[in-house]
Structures are given as structure tokens and as C-alpha cells.
Amino acid sequence: PQTATVTLNGLVATVKGVKQGSVSIVGMTSDGDFVAVAAVAVSAAG
């Protein structure tokens, strides 16, 4: 099951929480030379 979804618009990635939990979002250049990893925690609103 997905914890979050990622939508890419040009150079901007938008992360939307789907359910509570933790997930690592990985971004990579098309040539694979550069990689970034973001740890994201999704929690209930409020």
C-alpha cells in the first residue's frame, strides 16, 4: 500500500500523504549521476 504519492511538474515534485507511515522519496537525474533521498513522515491532520 502506498504511504505517499509524488507528482512531477517540471522541476517541482509534490508529495501527497495517502496514509500514516514513513517513506523514502528518491529523486534521480535522467543520467543517474545525481541522487537525492528525502525521508517523509505522514501523520494524521489536526
- Show the cell assigned to 26: 528518491
Name the residue with cell 505522514: 42
pTM for this structure?
A: 0.72
Which range marks the domain in which residue 17 is found? 4-42
Distance CA 39, CA 24 (A): 5
Task: Read off the pLDDT of residues 17-33 as tens digits, 9 standing for 90 and up.
Answer: 999 999 999 999 999 99
Count of structural domains within the chain = 1
Check pLDDT > 80 for residue 1.
no
pLDDT for 40 equals 95
Reported confidence tier of residue 15, pLDDT bands at 50, 70, 90: very high
Check pLDDT > 90 for residue 16.
yes
Mean pLDDT of 25-46: 94
